[in-house]
Structure 1
Amino acid sequence: MMIQTKFHGELSIDSIQQWEFPHGLPGLEEEKQFVLLPIEGNDSFQVMQSITNTPIALIVSNPYALVENYSISIDEPTLDLLNIKKQEEVMILTVMSLKQPFESSTMNLQAPLIFNSTNQKAKQMILNDSQFSLRQPIGKPAEKGAY
């Protein structure tokens, strides 16, 4: 299957793992199918590209690689929706907002993306924990006022 992507041009996704968001993303409920694409020369970030809507491409990253004190609990509805049975099935990414200069870029720690690598289902889970920010600066402590 060929798709048009925002950053990679036309691409065959036959050999690329596809992820289903059964309820879409908050604000993008109709967007249910995505692929994760590498960013050449940068192992820290990926592009989460919609399969059906070329302009929908989010930069994502592993929050644990950027923030040392990030810790969440996955709620019961998310565990059920994604059919998560064990921790080894889970991959967590956060949506990035890249800016110039790069040091002013932020990540959304308040709404992580939860992936089940066993069944390729995913969900953006909104945390009810105000300890984490929607716009956490890269390289800063995750807890508000942690300095």
Structure 2
Amino acid sequence: MKINTSYFEEVEIDSKEVIYFEQGLPGFLNEKEFVLLSFDEPLAFQVLQSINTGELAFIVVFPFDFNKEYKVDLNDQILEQLKIETEDDVLILSIVTLKDHLNNSTANLQAPIIINRHSHLGKQYIMHQSNYSTKEYIFNSSIVKEEK
């Protein structure tokens, strides 16, 4: 199937790769179907692209690539909702806010995107009892919080 995208114009995707977010994403509750697209360059960034709204796309990263101590404890409700049975089922991504100077870009570690790689079910999981913020620097080895 062909879709319009924010970063790649029109692309052909396999309908088997569509990730279904039953409750949508916060702020985009009617957007339930996305696909994960990769850039040609060997960058850590990927795009979580809506398949219905070409203008809606989120830059995402693997949070463990820049924060080795990052931890996400998934509760039983999330495991059941996403049909997660093993650790291998889980893909965790963080939405990135790109800044003019790439070194100032941040990632939302407080609300990761959780995807079951096999069932293609997804959810943005807001960790209320967390020491992580929505704006963690991704290019700082010490991972400091962005000043407000």
TM-score (norm 1): 0.91
For the residues of structure 2 that align with 1:37 and 1:98, how far apart are their CA atoms? 17
The one-letter code sitting in structure 1 at the alignment partner of 2:66 is: L
1:60 positional shift: 0.3
For the residues of structure 2 that align with 1:83 and 1:21, how far apart are their CA atoms? 13
For the residues of structure 1 that align with 2:45 and 2:80, how far apart are their CA atoms? 28
Query: Higher strand fraction: Structure 1 or Structure 2?
Result: 1
Matches within 5 A, 1:1-147: 1-14=1-14, 17-138=17-138, 139-142=140-143
The one-letter code sitting in structure 2 at the alignment partner of 1:74 is: L
Contact 1:69 1:142 in 2 (8 A): no
Q: Which runs of 5+ in 1 are unaligned?
A: none
1:127 positional shift: 0.1
CA change 1:56–1:100 in 2 (3 A) is same
The one-letter code sitting in structure 2 at the alignment partner of 1:3 is: I
Secondary structure of 1:80 counterpart: helix
Q: Which runs of 5+ in 2 are unaligned?
A: none
The one-letter code sitting in structure 1 at the alignment partner of 2:97 is: S
1:14 positional shift: 2.5
CA change 1:90–1:66 in 2 (3 A) is same
Query: CA RMSD, aligned part only?
Result: 1.6
Secondary structure of 1:91 counterpart: strand
The one-letter code sitting in structure 2 at the alignment partner of 1:94 is: S
1:43 positional shift: 3.0
1:114 positional shift: 0.5
Contact 2:104 2:137 in 1 (8 A): yes
Identical-pair percentage: 37
For the residues of structure 2 that align with 1:99 and 1:40, how far apart are their CA atoms? 21
For the residues of structure 1 that align with 2:141 and 2:122, how far apart are their CA atoms? 27
- Number of equivalenced pairs: 144
TM-score (norm 2): 0.91
For the residues of structure 2 that align with 1:69 and 1:141, how far apart are their CA atoms? 11
